[in-house]
Every structure is written in C-alpha cells, then in structure tokens.
Amino acid sequence: MIKFNEETQTFRLDTLNSTYCITVAKKGYLGHSYYGKKIADDDISYLMRQSEYFMSDGEVFREKHTLLDFLPQELPTDGMGDFRESALAITNSNGNNGVELKYKSYKICDGAQTLPGLPSVFGKNGQSLEITTEDPVLGIEVHLIYTIFDDSDAIIRSTRIISKAKEPVYIKKALSASFDIDNEDFDIITLHGSWARERHIDRHPVHHGKQGVLSMRGETSHQEHPFIALIDHNTDQNKGSVYAMNFIYSGNFVADCQLNQFESIRLVMGINPENFCWKLNPGETFDTPQAVLVYSDKGLNGMSHIYHDLYREHLIRSPYKKAMRPILINNWEATYFNFDTEKLLDIAREASKDGIEMLVMDDGWFGKRNSDNCSLGDWVVNEEKIKGGLKHLVDEVNKLGMKFGIWFEPEMISPDSDLYKAHPDWAIQIPGREPGMSRQQYVLDITRKEAEDYAYESVAKILRSANIEYVKWDMNRQLSDIGSSKLASDQMGEYYHRYVLALYRMQERLVTDFPKLLLENCSGGGARFDPGMFYYSPQIWCSDDTDAIERLSIQEGTALVYPLSTMGAHVSVCPNHAVGRVTPFKTRGYVALSGTFGYELDITKLSPEDRSLIPHQVELYKKYSDLVRNGDYWRIASFSQNHEYDCWMSVSKDKKEALVTFVQVLNHPNFKTRFIKLQGLDPDRKYTVSFPDENQADYPEITLSGSTIMNAGIGIKRDWGDFQAKLIHIYS
Ligand code: DGJ
C-alpha cells in the first residue's frame, strides 16, 4: 500500500512486513525518513525533520551545505554540498556540474512499470509511486519510481531522467537507489569470487569511509556481485535485521556503503559511473535499471525468501519458470572440442537408457573450431564433425526420445574467423591500438546494429534449421579496449550501457521468436548470474566448477539471493576437472539436485558402479524437483563457517513436505551423532522423517512433530570418510 500524507508531506510504502518513508523537506528537498520493520501509521516525519534545524525559515539559508551533508536523502545529488556519495551527477553543455532536485508532484498507479529496453519486474497485484522532482537550472526532471507488490516485502526502485533543457546535458552518474540510515553496529555482506569460485559470502564490520563492490568488466563478473547487505552484528540465518540491495542489470555496477562523520550510513547501487557519461538531448529520457531493496527482521533466510519469491513471481518470464526442467547431459567436460556425430549419439544412446532427457552439444560444432582459438562468429555447422548435418543429429537424438540443446557465444569474434576477415572493424577496439585478446578472442561490437543483427540472425537461423529446444548462451571474456567508430566522441561514455541494452535486445528477440525455448545464460561459468538475465532465462550456469565441495560455497552464496530453480548444476566425473578432488558420485548427485540438475560427463566411460546410480538420481530429481524449485529454501549450516559440514533444506509452501541435504565435508574423529535443528516446518504438524537412501537399520523412519524437529533436531550419524552426504525426506 502506498500513501501520501499531505499534512506531513510524507510518502509511505507499506509492504507485508516493512515500511519505507520519504518526506519532503523544507525548500523541497526529498528526505528519507524511515526504512525498517513495519510501523504504525504515525507521523514519523520528525525522524527527518530533526535534520532541518540547520535551515532557517526565513530568506537567509546560511547553512545549506551543513543541511545537505546531514539530511538523510532519497536521491543525493552532486555538487550542492552533500559531500557524501552522490546518486546523480549531471553536467550542462557549458561544462558546469551540480544538480539540485526539488519536489514537484507525484502519482500513484496500480501495478508495476515496464522500463523500455530493460528487464523489469512485472505484476498487477501491486502499486507504483512516481515522485517528480526538477532542477529548473539544468532544465531536467528526475522521476523517482518505486514499485511494491501485495505478496512481497521487496521495494523496487529506479529513476527516470527527462530533459526539458534547450541544450544537451551529460549524465555522469545515475544510480538507481540510495538511502541513509543510522549505524547500529552493522556488518556488511558482499559476494566475491573468481572463475570457478563465484559468489562466496564475505562478511565484515562496516568501517568509516567507503566500502563496496563493483564491476568494470562490461558484465556482472565472477569477481564481484551486484548485491550488498547491511546486517546487525548479531544477525544470523534466522534472526536479526538485514537491509539488502540487488541490481536487475548485467553490466558495470557499483554498490557502496559509506559510514560518515555522523555515524550515518549511505547505501547506494546503480550503473558504475566510471567511464559512464550519457548525452541526453532535449526531450530525451534516460531510465536507470531497477534496484531491489529488501528489509527482513528474520535474518538471512528471511531475506533470501523475499528475493527468491520476488524473482520467481515477478521477474522470470519463461514458460519453464515453475516447470520441471529436462534432465540434460552436456558434452563439455566429456569431450571438450573432440567430438563428432557418432560420439554425441553414443552419449545420447547411453544417457537415454538411464532416463536422461536432453543432449546439449557444447562448444566446438561450428566453423573449424577444434580448440578455443578460432571461429567465433562463423556460426556454420562443421559437417566434418557433425557428419550428416545438424538436422540429422537432432532427429537421431529426438528418435531416442530426447530433446536437443545447443551452445552459442554470439557476442564474440575470433581473429581467426571468416567474420573477422570480412569485418575486422566489428571487433571492439580503440582506433590505432591493437585490441587485447582474451581466450584468443575479441568482443563483437553489438552496439553496431549490423553486428547485433548478424549475431542474432546467426543464432536464429541455426534454431530454425532443426528441432532445437534449449540454448546455452555463453560469454567467455570481458570487455576492454572500448572504442567505436560509430559513436560520436561525446557519446563514448555510453558504450558499456549500450552494449548491455544490445544484449537485452538480442535476448528479447530470441525469447519472442522462440517462445518455447529453454534459455540458459552462462559466462565462463557464472559471471552473468544476475537478475537481469532472469528476465530472459529461467536458469543460469552457476560455475565451471562442478566439484561437489566447492559447489557448497558457490551454491550457498548464489542461493543467498537467487532461487534454487535458477542454479545450473551438473554431476561430473572425478578427479574433478577444476580442483582434482574425488568425491562420492552420490554426494555429487545430491548437490546437483539442488539446482536444475544434469550431467556433464562421458557416460560411455563411467564406472559401472557410478553408472548404476544414475537411474536412481533421475528418480530423485523427478520426485523432489518441484519441492526444490518452488519451495522455500532454508540454510541450516554452512561449511564455509563451521569447516565441517553443510546443510540446507527446501520446504513446500504448504509446509507439508521438506527435503534436507546434509554433507559431512570433513569427518570428525570420535564423534557420534549430530542433531540438526531444521526450520520452516509447521510446529504442530506430525511428520515422517525418512532417509530414503540409507540402510533402514541405521535410519528407521520415525514420526515427529515439526516443533521437535525444529527444536530438538534429527540425528545424523558420523560416516566413515570425508564428503559423505545424506538426503532426508520429511513429509506428512
Ligand atoms: C564456458 C562455460 O561455462 C562452459 O560450460 C563451456 O560451455 C565453455 N565455456 C565452452 O567454451
């Protein structure tokens, strides 16, 4: 519910359990007055008005700087005396900086707003607030847009900048959200990583000054993630306050936390202003992507539930969003580039016998690509490898009762390719400089319409040529050497954002032209695992690291914000190709079952012992996938914290059923039974607790009430050896 109180000049956004307030300060500045647990509809404007004592009521406004540097602001601007981090910086055509926004009007409407060209939350069961502010000197209007839904605690923010100026203005910084709150001994949580080690959780106390995360890589990145949370020092998985921000965007971002001289914290999120400058001509509009703010007083699990439900209900559009995904087998770790039709069909034949439902042909089927040093851009089937052509292969796979999927990397161009020979200028480059290669490839300049069309049409043509039901859209290097012969010199700062907009256009065309397609985004593993991509693909490849133990940390960090239904997870062979670790096939299966599930191995070479487990894993997936995809995820224990074991669970929305995964990572000597206290069940309901894959003598089925399971716990005996896992089914 969104309301405006004329008397107190306060906007109030009430979600299910939180309240967010904005108050118009004297002289028309927009102040932030409250964010936190839901409170009564009192006049809370005093929370902000106390900052106004620096402001004289008369004509002389002698302490403007002091006010602006002190006032909790809703969208802080550059150059006017708020010396903290700003959210908006604009320069006029004379080169003068400074933006001063004053409140003008507002409107409240039903439902969510769609941002042109950008992924946007959707849904009719909510409201949007649009507050119009203006800077008459610059001749711009800035609209602050907020959306809330009846079934969610998230607040979605973006800004729209409209030029009414006579000359162009230059937007140098346009963040999507900002708010100020008093410090309460907060810790900060961010997600950091690397290739094969994405989204590990990082938690440390907030210190004075600025701290945060960013990407300058042209994509979200393996290294840092557009997520930031402030949490009480005592907050744990199930209790305590959390304020979080996440960004529905797939390019350069910044998320900063700044603790200032008055012990006040500013949290901001948006497009990274470094190398950003957007020329806004008279009459034009610029929309920032959406940032998603969440407050939870139920710890990190409470925050995760809000994000998971929002993304499942209001961002993912795919017809697959709630549906069971086909169990796939991907040939990447099985063959790398060394495959042909016969090899793929051998894999498919064996896989189909065990109930696997889709063959995905990964990198290496086109041009003359037998290694990663050529042919990107030449999206023509290599008939020396794919003998008989693609349609023949797909038909043969279909005859086995399996679907067929294919890999692309449409945004790239190899220097050794026919495409590069024909269009060397289509590679992103700074004129006069040798562009830098990464994985021996350049990035295709998809901001050029002809290159965007070429790349899209190359994909579409292949998809039209056979019954292809899945696409893995990969991106294996990050952007550098930004130059363009097409953009004017005063528009080069638009490049990175234009690139992301072109990517979104291409994927929008893909899901429009092929509405039944299952699209999985990917970027050298999980560098594009971000909510922007959820708008186009219901699942994203989490990481090139398929080791079950490394995956515990990767999937924990990913599930902190994103639903399990989005996490691409496969069983692969051991020693694992990323870390060389040997883990039981059973454990690998259990860990992958918490994602979209599939295999990434040469099934024809698997040991009979491991192979014999596949039909059972397929059965487990069919039985529990609905629970995992659509239930509530609860983090129970974290190996990254306790260094011994990991445990998480999914509980059905009606609380009638749960699936628990326990992994004893390191054995603990002279230790008998560990009692694990679970979460999310109905305390008064009686449940059967069963260990479906364990010896019934060791783990007989028992009946317990939810309150006992959650407070006394269920017993897990110590196993011999490391990396042992258990699955526990709880049902009533
Ligand atoms: C990176 C992906 O993450 C892998 O799964 C695989 O598709 C390779 N690229 C292929 O080049």
CA distance 520 to 517: 10
Ligand 1 atom nearest the C-alpha of 541 is: 3
| Measured distance CA(404)–CA(348) in Å, rounded | 10
390 CB-contact burial (10 Å; exposed 0-12 / middle 13-18 / buried 19+): buried
**Which of ligand 1's atoms lies nearest the C-alpha of 544?**
3
Q: Reduced to 3 states, what is the DSSP secondary structure of residue 386?
A: coil
Ligand 1 centre to CA of 328 (Å) is: 15
Taking the centre of ligand 1 as the mean of its atom positions, its distance from the CA of residue 664, in whole angstroms, is 30
Provide residues with CB under 6 Å of ligand 1: 332, 362-363, 407, 474, 476, 522, 524-525, 541, 544
Give the atom of ligand 1 at the shortest distance from the alpha carbon of 472: 7
Question: Which residue lies with its CA nearest to atom 2 of ligand 1?
Answer: 524
Q: How far apart are CA 595 and CA 426, in angstroms?
A: 37
pLDDT at 64: 86
Distance 578 CA to ligand 1 centre (A): 13
Ligand 1 centre to CA of 240 (Å) is 39
The residue behind tokens 């897990």 is 716
> Distance from the CA of 111 to the center of ligand 1, in angstroms?
39
From the CA of 543, give the closest atom in ligand 1: 3
Of 172, 280, 199, 292, the residue nearest 244 (C-alpha):
292
Tell me how far the alpha carbon of residue 372 lies from the centroid of ligand 1, in angstroms: 10
Residue closest by Cα to atom 11 of ligand 1: 363
H-assigned helices in 315-436 = 332-335, 341-353, 389-399, 418-422
Q: Which residues are catalytic?
A: 474, 544
Peptide bond into 575 cis (omega under 30): yes
Ligand 1 atom nearest to CA at 372: 11
**Dihedral sign, Cα of residue 344, residue 350, residue 351, residue 357:** positive
Copy the structure tokens of residue 231.
Answer: 């949490």
Residue nearest to atom 9 of ligand 1 (CA): 524
Residue with tokens 């954002």: 497
Cα of 394 vs centre of ligand 1, distance in Å, is 21
Query: Cα(80) to centroid of ligand 1, in Å?
Result: 48
Please report the DSSP string for 419-464 in residue order.
HHHH-GGGB---TTSPPPPBTTBEEB-TTSHHHHHHHHHHHHHHHH
- Ligand 1: which of 333, 335, 474, 520 to mutate, judged by most atoms within 8 Å of the beta carbon? 474
Question: Ligand 1: which of 541, 547, 601 to mutate, judged by most atoms within 8 Å of the beta carbon?
Answer: 541
- C-alpha distances out from residue 17 to 150, 236, 308, Å: 11, 19, 16
Neighbours of 723 (CB within 10 A): 21
Closest protein CA for atom 6 of ligand 1: 332
pLDDT at residue number 59: 66
Residue 609, burial from CB neighbour count under 10 angstroms (0-12, 13-18, 19+): exposed
Q: What whole-number distance in Å separates Cα of residue 685 and Cα of residue 675?
A: 20
Name the phi and psi angles at 67, rounded to 5: -60, -55
What is the number of the ligand 1 atom nearest to the C-alpha of 600? 5
Single out the residue of 595, 597, 587 nearest to residue 618, CA to CA: 597
CB 29 within 8 A of CB 167: no
Contact 495, 487 (CB under 8 A): yes
727 C-alpha to ligand 1 centroid (Å): 30
Residue 316 and residue 312: Cα distance in Å, rounded? Answer: 6
Question: Token pair 């920032």 is at which residue?
Answer: 288
Q: Alpha carbon 19 to chain centroid distance?
A: 25
Enter the pTM of the model: 0.98
Which residues on neighbouring strands pair with residue 728, listed in sequence order? 660
| Average pLDDT per block of 10 residues along the chain, 732 residues long | 97 98 94 97 89 72 86 96 97 95 98 97 98 98 98 98 97 98 95 98 97 98 98 96 98 98 97 98 98 98 98 98 97 98 98 98 98 98 98 98 98 98 97 94 98 98 98 98 93 98 98 98 98 98 98 98 98 98 98 98 98 98 98 97 96 98 93 94 98 96 98 94 97 98
Residue-level pLDDT at 52 = 79
